[in-house]
Structure 1
Amino acid sequence: MRSSVAPPKARRARHARRGRNPRAARPAGLWHDAWHDLRRRPLFAVSAVLIGVILLAAAVPGLFTSVDPYDAAGCVLGDARQGPSAAHWFGTDNQGCDTYARVVHGARNSLLVGLSSAVATALAGGLLGLLAGFRGGWPDALLSRVAEVFFAVPSVLGALLILSIFRTGTVWTVMLALAVLSWPMTFRVMRAAVITARNQDYVVAARGLGASPGRLMFRHILPNSIAPLIVVATINLGVFIAAEAGLSFLGLGIQSPEISWGMMIADARARFHEAPWPLLFPAGFLSVTVLAFIMLGDAVRDALDPKLR
C-alpha cells in the first residue's frame, strides 16, 4: 500500500510549480519584524552610524590620531590654550596637550563606564525582576520593598557617597556606584513584563504539560519579556555616560592620569573665557554620544512595541 503523503522533495517541487515558497509562508517572529522595521528608520541609521564611529574611536584610537595624550612629553606649556589649527585640530588645553587626541582617547573610559553599567543593571535588575514576577508572593514583596529603598536614595548623593568610600576613581568603582543605584528601574520594567507574560496561554499550556519552573522562566517567559529590558538598557547607555561625566566633573569620577570627557570639561572650566575650545569639544562629543544612544533606544522601542507601529 502506497502512502498518500508526498516526500519533502516532491512537496517542495509542487509548491515551486504553483509559485509558492513554503518557507516564505512561515510567520515572522518579533525580532525579525523589529529588525525589518529598524532598517527603514532614518533615526536608527543615523544613531547607528554615530555610535559605530564613536565605538571605533574608543576601541582603536590609533586610527584617528597618532598623538599619545598619556605621554607627558607631548604636552608643551608654551602651547597652552591655543586655538584650533592644522597642528592641533581642537586646540590645546591648559597643560598644552592636544585636545583632539584627549577627546579621542577619552571616549574609551566614558563608553566603558556606560556599557559596563548598562550590562550590570540589565543583568541584576532583569534576573531579580524575572524571579519576582514569576514567583510572586513573599519573594516579590521582599524584592519590591528593597527596590523601593534604593529608589528613595537620591542618585547623585548615593553615587557621591559610594565613591567617597572607595576613594579611588576608576572605571569599575564608577560602574559599581551607578549600577547599585540604577538596578531598581530595570527590576520594575522586567517584573511588569514577566507578570504580563506568565498568564499567557502558552505559559499555561507549558505548565500543564509538566514544564519545570526553570524551563518556564528561561524558555517561555524570558524570551517574550526581554524586549522592554533591551529598550531600557539601550537608553541607559547614554544616561550612564552622562552620569559618569557629571561625577568626574565633581571630582569623584575617573581620576587622573586616566582621561574622560567629564574630566576634560572639569579641567577646562576655569579658563573657559580665555580658551573655550578645550571645554566645547569634549562637551560636544559627550552630547552627541548621549543623544545617539537615546535616539537608538527610541528607535528600538518603536520597533519592538507593535502598538507604536
Structure 2
Amino acid sequence: MPDERPSDESRAQAARPPQLAPEERAPRGPSPSIDATAERDPDDVLAAQEKSAVEALEATGRPESARSLSSDAWHDLRRNPVFLISALLILFLIVIAIWPGLIATRDPLYCRLGRAYEEPSAGHWFGFDNQGCDVYTRTVYGARASIAVGVCATLGVTLLGAVVGGLAGYFSRFWDPVLSRTTDIFFAIPMVLGAIVFLSMIKLGSIWPVVLVITVLGWPQIARIARGAVLSAKQNDYVHAARALGAGNTRILLRHILPNAIAPVIVMATIMLGTFIVLEATLSFLGVGLRPPTVSWGVDISAASDGMKFRNAPHILLYPAAALSLTVLAFIMMGDAVRDALDPKLR
C-alpha cells in the first residue's frame, strides 16, 4: 500500500502564504496616518505635541516641573504666613467696607453732645468723640471711604501707567522720548502739593475728586516700571520668533509681552494701594480731601488732632489712627510677599 503522508516539499508549500497577483496587490505609498499628519496645520501639530508632552509629564508624577510663573507664585504664596495673615486682614477690611452693618449696628452720624469724650465702656468699646459720636461705629464705617479711594485710585493709576509705559517701551523709537519727557514733567510735581492745589479749587467732599487727582499725579511711577519691564521682555527670543512668523504688534503685546511684564506692575500697585490710603488721610487731615459729613479715618483723625482733645480723650485719635496704620501695613506686607513670589531672582 503506497505511503500517503505528504512529502517535505508539500508541507513547505502549504506553510507559505498565498501569493497575490500583481493587479491584486495593494499599491505602495505613504500610510494614511503620515498623509494626515502632513496635511495638518503646523500649529495644530505643535499643539498636539505639547499636549502629549504635558500628558506624559503628568503620567510620570512630576507635574510641579511644568508649572507656569503664576501657578508657581501661587504655590509659594499659599505657604507664606506673611501673605496669609495680610490676605485675611485685607479680606476682613473689604468685607466691613462693603457691609459695615455686620459688626456696627449704630448710625455713624448719630451724635449726642452730652456723651462727648466719654471713655470706652462695655456698650461702646471705643468711647465717644468730641461731638458725642460713637468712635467704634465711625471707625468701622470709615473703612468704606478710605479703602474705596485707595482701590479706585490704584486701578486708575495702574491702567494709565501700564498703557503709557507699555507703549513707550514697545514703540521705543518714536513714543519713548515723548512719553518719557511727559513722565518727567509729572515727576517734577510733588503729589501732596499738587493735590492740595487742585482740591482746594474744588469744593466737593466726595471721593471722586480725590481719586482723580491721585490718578493724574500718581501714574508716572507705574509707567516707569512698565516701560522697563516691556523693554526687557521684548528682547527675548520668543518675541523675535513671533515677529518672524508674522505676528502683529497687538498679538505680541497681549500674548507674549504682557504676561511676562505684568509681575512688577502688580507688585508696585499692591504697595501703592496702601500709600494712596495714607495720602487720602493726609489730604482729609489738611481739610482739602474728604470733608464731613463723609465718614473716613482721615476726617476723624483731623477732628481729634487738637492737643487738648488728645490729652483729655486720647481714644478719639488712637482708634482711627490704629485702623489706618493696620490697613496700610497689611497692603505693604502683601506687596512684599507678592514681590518675593513673582521675582525669580529672589528664589
Identify the TM-score tier after normalising by the shorter chain: over 0.9
Alignment check: 8 A CA contact 2:205 2:294 kept = no
Residue in structure 2 matched with residue 34 of structure 1 by the alignment: 73
User: Among 156, 160, 166, which residue is 1:130 paired with?
Assistant: 166
Residue in structure 2 matched with residue 281 of structure 1 by the alignment: 319
User: Would the alpha carbon gap of residues 94 and 210 (structure 1) be closer, same or farther in structure 2, given more than 3 Å must change?
Assistant: same
Moved over 4 A (4+): 1-5
**Residue 246 (structure 1) shift:** 0.4
Residue in structure 1 matched with residue 48 of structure 2 by the alignment: none
Give me the whole-angstrom Cα distance separating, in 2, the residues matched to 1:141 and 1:250: 37
Residue in structure 1 matched with residue 344 of structure 2 by the alignment: 306
Report whether the alignment pairs 1:291 with 2:326.
Answer: no
Give me the whole-angstrom Cα distance separating, in 2, the residues matched to 1:165 and 1:58: 29
User: Among 74, 82, 89, which residue is 1:50 paired with?
Assistant: 89
Identical-residue share of aligned pairs (%): 51
User: Would the alpha carbon gap of residues 137 and 165 (structure 1) be closer, same or farther in structure 2, given more than 3 Å must change?
Assistant: farther
Give me the whole-angstrom Cα distance separating, in 2, the residues matched to 1:168 and 1:25: 53
Alignment check: 8 A CA contact 2:156 2:215 kept = yes
RMSD, matched Cα: 2.3
User: Among 107, 112, 123, which residue is 2:148 paired with?
Assistant: 112
Alignment check: 8 A CA contact 2:86 2:330 kept = yes
Residue in structure 2 matched with residue 8 of structure 1 by the alignment: none
Report whether the alignment pairs 1:256 with 2:282.
Answer: no
Alignment check: 8 A CA contact 2:196 2:288 kept = yes
Give me the whole-angstrom Cα distance separating, in 2, the residues matched to 1:215 and 1:62: 47
**Residue 167 (structure 1) shift:** 2.0
User: Among 8, 11, 20, which residue is 2:60 paired with?
Assistant: 20
SS of 2:174's partner is: helix
Give me the whole-angstrom Cα distance separating, in 2, the residues matched to 1:15 and 1:249: 61
**Residue 269 (structure 1) shift:** 1.4
Give me the whole-angstrom Cα distance separating, in 2, the residues matched to 1:140 and 1:25: 39
More off after superposition, 58-67 vs 158-167: 158-167
Residue in structure 1 matched with residue 98 of structure 2 by the alignment: 59
User: Would the alpha carbon gap of residues 157 and 204 (structure 1) be closer, same or farther in structure 2, given more than 3 Å must change?
Assistant: same
CA shift digits 1:231-254 (9 cap, x unpaired): 000001100000000000000111
User: Among 177, 186, 207, which residue is 1:150 paired with?
Assistant: 186
**Residue 286 (structure 1) shift:** 0.3
Report whether the alignment pairs 1:183 with 2:215.
Answer: no
User: Among 79, 102, 108, which residue is 1:69 paired with?
Assistant: 108
In structure 1, stretches of 5+ residues that fail to align are 6-10
In structure 2, stretches of 5+ residues that fail to align are 1-30, 38-51
Alignment check: 8 A CA contact 1:261 1:283 kept = yes
Task: For 1:38, give the aligned amino acid.
Answer: L
SS of 1:173's partner is: helix
SS of 1:161's partner is: helix
CA shift digits 1:21-74 (9 cap, x unpaired): 58x37611000000000011111011111111111110110111100113xxx3
Report whether the alignment pairs 1:222 with 2:261.
Answer: no
**Residue 86 (structure 1) shift:** 1.0
Alignment check: 8 A CA contact 1:250 1:266 kept = yes
Task: For 2:75, give the aligned amino acid.
Answer: H
More off after superposition, 290-299 vs 215-224: 215-224
Residue in structure 1 matched with residue 234 of structure 2 by the alignment: 198
Q: How many residues align?
A: 300
CA shift digits 1:273-299 (9 cap, x unpaired): 111101000000000000000000000
More off after superposition, 110-119 vs 153-162: 153-162
Structure whose alpha-carbon radius of gyration is higher: 2
In the TM superposition, 1:204-243 aligns within 5 A as 204-243=240-279
Report whether the alignment pairs 1:99 with 2:135.
Answer: yes
Q: TM-score, normalised by structure 1?
A: 0.92
User: Would the alpha carbon gap of residues 106 and 15 (structure 1) be closer, same or farther in structure 2, given more than 3 Å must change?
Assistant: closer
Alignment check: 8 A CA contact 1:163 1:169 kept = no
SS of 2:311's partner is: coil
Give me the whole-angstrom Cα distance separating, in 1, the residues matched to 2:192 and 2:270: 21
